[in-house]
Amino acid sequence: MTITAEHGKGKTLKDAQGDVFRGLEVVEHACGMATLQMGEYVSNVSSGIDTYSIREPLGVCAGICPFNFPAMIPLWMFPVAVTCGNTFVLKPSEKDPGASIILAELAMEAGLPKGVLNIVHGTTDTVNAICDDENIRAISFVGSNTAGMHIYGRAAAKGKRVQSNMGAKNHAVVLPDASMDATLNALVAAGFGAAGQRCMALSTVVFVGDSKLWEEKLVELAKSLKVNSGLEPDADLGPVISKQAKERICKLIQSGVDDGARLLLDGTDIVVPGYERGNFVGPTILTDVRADMECYKEEIFGPVLLCMHADSFDEAIKIVNRNKYGNGASLFTTSGIVARKFQNEIEAGQVGINVPIPVPLPFFSFTGSKASFAGDLNFYGKAGVHFFTQIKTITQQWKDSPGGTGVSLAMPTSQKS
Ligand code: NAD
């Protein structure tokens, strides 16, 4: 309820619950993380000498968050960081910082010592201060490409470790053999859920072969969604986060039309009774979209589904791979052989086979790639532990009768001379 209210009644209650529960999965993962922190040990690498490595905390780490999942994204960050032994500075989005405060209170109630989790508020100046602070060793960022690449460059120049999880354009390829009802349900849920304000939202569908019937049914199903205040229990989509966000979304839709796309469903002029001044955008579908259009090149981050067409499966794969982003891509088919080809050839970090939003559970990592990610180590899972720790390697010598061999200036090796 608090998340929905702070989101300007934009996040529906169901989506706000998802926000909390997906975050709690990372807390559960962090509770069982001890074995992921285990080091390595080789005994007797040379006579009387053992070498082992331990994973140590970095010290102070920081997280910079976007508005769209105000509970889940902080929970992607600080539970892993503090379980690895670090302290953490969390900067929530200035648009909805309340959930972070609640999470910090709950963490302290659960026994997190004072000073381990710290919250700072603000915008660009606060972010820049985090990037420049000499005590901060690593920054985890989630948000847009503009901010993410700025933070990546500025913090890396100060010697920090950075993971920037950024924007996306997630595609679904639909083959003629796909199961129609299940696929349409998946496309609509992934395209319009959270009003498209998810980094893993589906923004483009590439139909292989004749798409007329698919598009007709897609429009029919999208029309049945209820657009309302997120506080209404039956709402499927709430308003988008701000007036500026609505204007930007409408501008990109209009640019698509101006560039020759056909508007199959227009949600730009929707009025919701009782909330006439709300920032609502209803489900919108554009078809005949081409790769050179601005609406395709830019992340829209709203309830807008773009439809493209390919004559063959290979052409569909090429379309997806040419896009600069690489968070997720899905395939809808009943053929295992084709699915295997997709898995191997598609250039996206998270692949779904008949799954529209392929976000893995946290014992795997969140593996965005290409322009959707900058850094070397992804969120949570093994990579998350590696991101928040550094390796120390120890070589120890315990001999029964040390000494007596004289001073040797030769390079020590494991070879017996
Ligand atoms: P945003 O980039 O505007 O804000 C994110 C954070 O960066 C905020 O804390 C903000 O204060 C800060 N910030 C914004 N502009 C800045 C600047 N110029 N310099 C320094 N700091 C700046 O993002 P948003 O609108 O809150 O969130 C939406 C974006 O987040 C979308 O692009 C979406 O795809 C992305 N996102 C990505 C993932 C992922 O895992 N890849 C997950 C969720 C959201």
Share of the chain above pLDDT 90, in %: 92
Residue 295 in this model has a pLDDT that exceeds 90: yes
Tell me how many domains the chain contains: 2
Provide mean pLDDT across the span 242-248: 97
Q: What is the pLDDT, as a whole number, of residue 404?
A: 59
Give residue 137 CA to ligand 1 midpoint distance, Å.
21
244 three-state secondary structure: helix
Provide mean pLDDT across the span 145-152: 98
Is 54 among the domain residues?
yes
Residues 131 and 183 grouped into a single domain: no
Residues 161 and 244 grouped into a single domain: no
Is 409 among the domain residues?
no
Residues 162 and 245 grouped into a single domain: no
Residue nearest to ligand 1 atom 20, measured at CA: 124
CATH code for position 61? 3.40.605.10
pTM summary value = 0.95
How confident is residue 263, by pLDDT bands cut at 50, 70 and 90?
A: very high
- Encode pLDDT of 341-400 as tens digits: 999 999 999 999 999 999 999 999 999 999 999 999 999 999 999 999 999 999 999 987
CA distance 211 to 340: 23
| Ligand 1 atom closest to residue 299's alpha carbon, by position in its atom list | 32
Residues 59 and 189 grouped into a single domain: no
Residues 180 and 153 grouped into a single domain: no
CB of 203 closer than 8 Å to CB of 299: yes
Is 413 among the domain residues?
no
Residues 157 and 174 grouped into a single domain: no
Beta strands 49-57 and 389-397 are antiparallel
CA distance 319 to 309: 10
DSSP 194: G
State the residue range of the domain holding 206. 170-324+328-353
Residues 3 and 65 grouped into a single domain: yes
Residues 341 and 383 grouped into a single domain: no
Q: What is the pLDDT, as a whole number, of residue 402?
A: 57
Q: Answer yes or no: is the C-beta of 168 below 6 A from any ligand 1 atom.
A: yes
pLDDT averaged over every residue in the chain: 95
How confident is residue 407, by pLDDT bands cut at 50, 70 and 90?
A: confident
Q: Answer yes or no: is the C-beta of 372 below 6 A from any ligand 1 atom.
A: yes
Among 131, 199, 250, 295, the one annotated catalytic = 199
How confident is residue 416, by pLDDT bands cut at 50, 70 and 90?
A: low
- Encode pLDDT of 168-196 as tens digits: 999 999 999 999 999 999 999 999 999 99
Residues 268 and 313 grouped into a single domain: yes
Would you state the structure tokens that stand for residue 228, as one six-digit string? 């309302």
319 three-state secondary structure: helix
Residues 60 and 153 grouped into a single domain: yes
Burial bucket for residue 31 (CB in 10 Å: 0-12, 13-18, 19+): exposed
Residues 34 and 160 grouped into a single domain: yes
416 three-state secondary structure: coil
Is 348 among the domain residues?
yes
Is 36 among the domain residues?
yes
CA distance 75 to 19: 10
How confident is residue 8, by pLDDT bands cut at 50, 70 and 90?
A: confident
The answer for 225, left when phi > 0, alpha when psi is -120 to 50, beta otherwise, is beta
Q: What is the pLDDT, as a whole number, of residue 64?
A: 98
DSSP 14: H
How confident is residue 403, by pLDDT bands cut at 50, 70 and 90?
A: low
256 three-state secondary structure: helix
Is 362 among the domain residues?
no
CATH code for position 275? 3.40.309.10
